[in-house]
Structure 1
Amino acid sequence: MEQRERPGDGPGRTTCIAVVVLVAASGAVEAISFTALGHVFAGVMTSNLALLGMAIGRGRGTGVASAVLALAGFGAGAGLVAWVTHGRAEVATHWPPRVMFCLIGEAVLLAVGAGFWAASGGAPGAVARDALQCGAAMAMGGQAATMVAAGRAAAPTTYLTGTLATYIVHGVGRSRPDGWVPARLGALIVGAAAAMALRRVAPAWAGALPFVLVSAATLIAARAVFRHRAAGGRQA
Structure 2
Amino acid sequence: MSEGRSGRQGSASLHIAVVLLVAAAGAVETVSFLGLDHVFAGVMTSNLALLGMAAGRGEAVDVTAALLALAGFGVGALIVAWCTRGQTTPMIHWHRRVMLFLYAEAALLAVGALVWGSAGGAPGGTLRDVMQFGAGLAMGTQSAAMVAAGRAAAPTTYLTGTLATHIAKGVSTGRPGVWVPLRFVGLVAGAATSAVLLEEAPPWAALPPVVLILCAIGSASVPLVARRPGSAARRG
Q: Normalising by structure 1, what TM-score?
A: 0.91
Q: Please give the per-residue CA displacement for 1:184-208, whole angstroms capped at 9, x wherever unaligned.
A: 0111011000110111111101111
Q: Please give the per-residue CA displacement for 1:180-236, whole angstroms capped at 9, x wherever unaligned.
A: 0000011101100011011111110111111111111111111221113358865xx
Cross-structure match for 1:60: 60
SS at match of 1:92: coil
State whether residues 37 and 133 of structure 1, in contact with CA within 8 Å, keep that contact through their aligned partners in structure 2. Answer: yes
Indicate the RMSD between aligned Cα atoms, in angstroms.
2.0
Structure 1 residue 166, shift from structure 2 partner: 0.3
SS at match of 1:172: helix
Moved more, 40-49 or 217-226: 217-226
Structure 1 residue 91, shift from structure 2 partner: 0.6
Distance 1:210 1:202, change over 3 A: same
Distance 1:185 1:33, change over 3 A: same
Q: Please give the per-residue CA displacement for 1:99-131, whole angstroms capped at 9, x wherever unaligned.
A: 100000000100111011001100111211111
Alignment of 1:194-233 (within 5 A): 194-229=193-228
Q: Please give the per-residue CA displacement for 1:31-78, whole angstroms capped at 9, x wherever unaligned.
A: 11111211110000011100111122332342x211111110000000
Distance 1:4 1:129, change over 3 A: farther
Alignment of 1:93-172 (within 5 A): 93-172=92-171
SS at match of 2:88: coil
Amino acid at match of 1:102: F
Size of the aligned set, in residue pairs, is 230
State whether residues 226 and 232 of structure 2, in contact with CA within 8 Å, keep that contact through their aligned partners in structure 1. Answer: no
Alignment of 1:56-95 (within 5 A): 56-58=55-57, 59-62=59-62, 64-87=63-86, 89-95=88-94
State whether residues 30 and 41 of structure 1, in contact with CA within 8 Å, keep that contact through their aligned partners in structure 2. Answer: yes
Cross-structure match for 1:184: 183
Distance 1:231 1:94, change over 3 A: farther
Distance 2:156 2:6 in 1: 21
Structure 1: state its 5+ residue gaps. none
Amino acid at match of 1:107: A
State whether residues 10 and 92 of structure 1, in contact with CA within 8 Å, keep that contact through their aligned partners in structure 2. Answer: no
SS at match of 1:110: helix
Structure 2: state its 5+ residue gaps. none
SS at match of 1:66: helix
Distance 1:10 1:173, change over 3 A: farther
State whether residues 144 and 157 of structure 1, in contact with CA within 8 Å, keep that contact through their aligned partners in structure 2. Answer: yes
Distance 1:97 1:130 in 2: 32
Cross-structure match for 1:12: 11
